[in-house]
Amino acid sequence: MMRSELLARLEAETMWDILIIGGGATGLGVALDAASRGYKTLLLEQDDFCKGTSSRSTKLIHGGVRYLAQGNVRLVSDALHERGLLLKNAPDLVHPLPMVIPVYRSWQVPYYLTGLNLYDLLAGGLRIGWSRFLSKSATMQRVPGLSEDGLRGGILFHDAQFDDARLGIRLASAAAAQGALVLNHFRVESFIKSSGQVTGVEARDRFSRREFTLRARGVVNATGIFSDTVRKLDSADSPDLIAFSQGSHVVLDRGFLPSETAVLIPRTDDGRVLFAIPWNGKVLAGTTDLPVPSPELEPSPMQEEIEFILSHLGRLLARQPQTKDVLSMFAGLRPLVKARGGVATSALSRDHVVLVSDSGLVSTIGGKWTTYRKMAEDTVDRVVGVAGLEGRACTTESLSLEQTEDARGLAGGLERGAVDGNAETNSEICGLPAADVLKAVHAEWACTVEDVLSRRTRTLLLDARKAIEMAPRVAELMAAELSMGPDWVSEQVESFRDIAKRYLPSD
Ligand SMILES: Cc1cc2nc3c(=O)[nH]c(=O)nc-3n(C[C@H](O)[C@H](O)[C@H](O)COP(=O)(O)OP(=O)(O)OC[C@H]3O[C@@H](n4cnc5c(N)ncnc54)[C@H](O)[C@@H]3O)c2cc1C
């Protein structure tokens, strides 16, 4: 899958049924839904797939126990249904995750168990397991890193965990397998209209700087935190509908929580929940909720957020984590549908909204990773009506997202060193198989070192120093595959270092 071939296909097509702007969870979900219904589908992402919020989540596929406490039963029950579907349809990327809420006072046992039993009931037949009380010794056995100070026991419940950017790439592959053309590093700059109706977009290829005029019957705005920006390209006086809330995470060595069970702190000092989760051999902890004024593709965690997370972990764990222990840290911005009046961002709805502008632009706003499939279904239903396309039923509830035969074959070939002209496929870069880099380039749309080290592999999020160390060799390997010279290698390494430094606390 060379980029030149993708661009040739783009040029050959004169009219798309559905054009999607934005390649995060929402846009990729819409692309898969639309293509699997048989619509001629194009998706354009300005940077890399999942570069925005969709690679910066807490990696939970969950109903959201906290939304239950807020009384949003429908949101929780819909999300639990989607959790069950994902466990069935993408079993290699989404797996059950046991969690414990540590208990320090006896009244907490009936309080949490009642809520969590309702949570289990709402999951119906797609329930993972029943919640129950664990004695102090059973809690310590499951979660050995906890401090025993004041601990009375724990409440065990179940949710699911995933790798967000990897699921994003899988959605892109599945959409492509259904006939969609999905392109990253391709920015939509303006709309084209006829009689006031959107009939396509002007978009630019980041690498060649070439501009393309692309026509479509229906256009979807799935740009997350940039939804208002794109709505203003359509109509300059569109009102702002999104509020931005930053959530940060820290990644620590597994020694701080040597367990396959996650821990949920049910009430932080600012009244939220905080997770400490085993993830890819490390501990991922977060998140925070900090209102910010504007959208940002590469937000940085604030020092105060890191201190907040570390201090809450310190109250819970036997070993107190310090700033120097942080292997990586990352922030994401939540696109929250604005409420009227001065409501805190933590209280704004995680539900989604599908809007149609006077020009026929369909915008999907809000939601969460867990519910991407339902958001996509609602969006495609809407755009089909607006664009006057023939109605066809959604099939994604039962569509398998397991790796396609083609991708498996290519990966196997790369592992065996079977790609023409490549002598290095069996080598490793600091533990990363070179075959994974080649697969990222040839089968997963990776164009930059950051694409590979941040989202095809998750090295940047797991250990930023190690990612910086690996960058030169990854760049050289990619350059050989992409026929790039030494200038490209230096430029890639330098720009990756600039980004990676933001994943480390300042000294
Ligand atoms: C800290 C945090 C933790 C979270 N944890 C969880 C969790 O554990 N579980 C869960 O279910 N949900 C979680 N969420 C929510 C979830 O991550 C988001 O709801 C989801 O990723 C949003 O996806 P999106 O596609 O709408 O937006 P994005 O992922 O931001 O995608 C929008 C894309 O549009 C692109 N774009 C913008 N403008 C243009 C343009 N002009 N042309 C082309 N492309 C453009 C951007 O580059 C971007 O990639 C979390 C969110 C945050 C912030």
The closest of 219, 225, 229 to 192, measured between CA atoms, is 219
Tell me what pLDDT residue 406 has.
Answer: 54
Pocket residue to mutate for ligand 1, from 369, 374, 447, 450, most atoms within 8 A of Cβ: 369
How many A from CA of 104 to the centre of ligand 1?
36
Tokens 């932080």 belong to 268
User: If you take atom 37 of ligand 1, which residue's CA is the nearest one?
Assistant: 223
Tokens 């997202």 belong to 401
Token pair of 288 as six digits: 């925070």
Lowest mean pLDDT among 65-69, 269-273, 438-442, 457-461: 65-69
- Enter the DSSP assignment of 317: B
pLDDT (tens digit per residue) in 74-112: 889 999 999 999 999 999 999 999 999 999 999 999 999
CA distance 474 to 318: 38
Tokens 């009939």 belong to 199
How many A from CA of 139 to the centre of ligand 1?
35
CA distance 417 to 460: 26
Work out whether the CA dihedral 449, 450, 455, 457 comes out positive or negative: positive
How many A from CA of 147 to the centre of ligand 1?
35
Model confidence band, residue 421 (pLDDT cutoffs 50, 70, 90): very low
Domains 3-53+166-241+347-398 and 86-161+243-338 alike in fold: no
| Residue-averaged pLDDT of the chain | 93
Report residues whose beta carbon is within 6 angstroms of any ligand 1 atom.
21-27, 44-47, 50-54, 56-60, 187-188, 222-226, 230, 247, 287, 297, 332-334, 367-370
Classified by CATH at the fold level, domain 3-53+166-241+347-398 comes out as FAD/NAD(P)-binding domain (3.50.50)
Tell me what pLDDT residue 335 has.
Answer: 87
Model confidence band, residue 386 (pLDDT cutoffs 50, 70, 90): very high
Question: For residue 52, which atom of ligand 1 is closest to its CA?
Answer: 30
Given a cut of 80, whether residue 498 has pLDDT beyond it is yes
**103 φ/ψ angles, rounded to the nearest 5 degrees:** -115, 130
Question: For residue 375, which atom of ligand 1 is closest to its CA?
Answer: 26
Tell me what pLDDT residue 71 has.
Answer: 81
Q: How many C-beta atoms surround the C-beta of residue 429 within 10 A?
A: 21
CA 154 to chain centre: 30
**CATH of 86-161+243-338 given 1.10.10.10, 3.30.9.10, 3.30.420.40, 3.40.50.720:** 3.30.9.10
Tell me what pLDDT residue 403 has.
Answer: 77
- DSSP H stretches of helix in 22-107: 25-36, 65-69, 73-89
Mean pLDDT of 425-431: 84
How many A from CA of 352 to the centre of ligand 1?
12
Tokens 């400490």 belong to 276
Q: H or E element: which one contains 204?
A: strand 197-205
Tell me what pLDDT residue 339 has.
Answer: 63
pLDDT (tens digit per residue) in 331-365: 999 988 876 544 555 555 558 899 999 999 999 99
Domain assignments of the chain as residue spans, ordered by start: 3-53+166-241+347-398, 86-161+243-338, 405-503
How many A from CA of 465 to the centre of ligand 1?
25
Question: For residue 186, which atom of ligand 1 is closest to its CA?
Answer: 43
CA distances in angstroms from 272 to 226, 250, 265, 287, 344, listed in the order given: 26, 17, 9, 9, 12
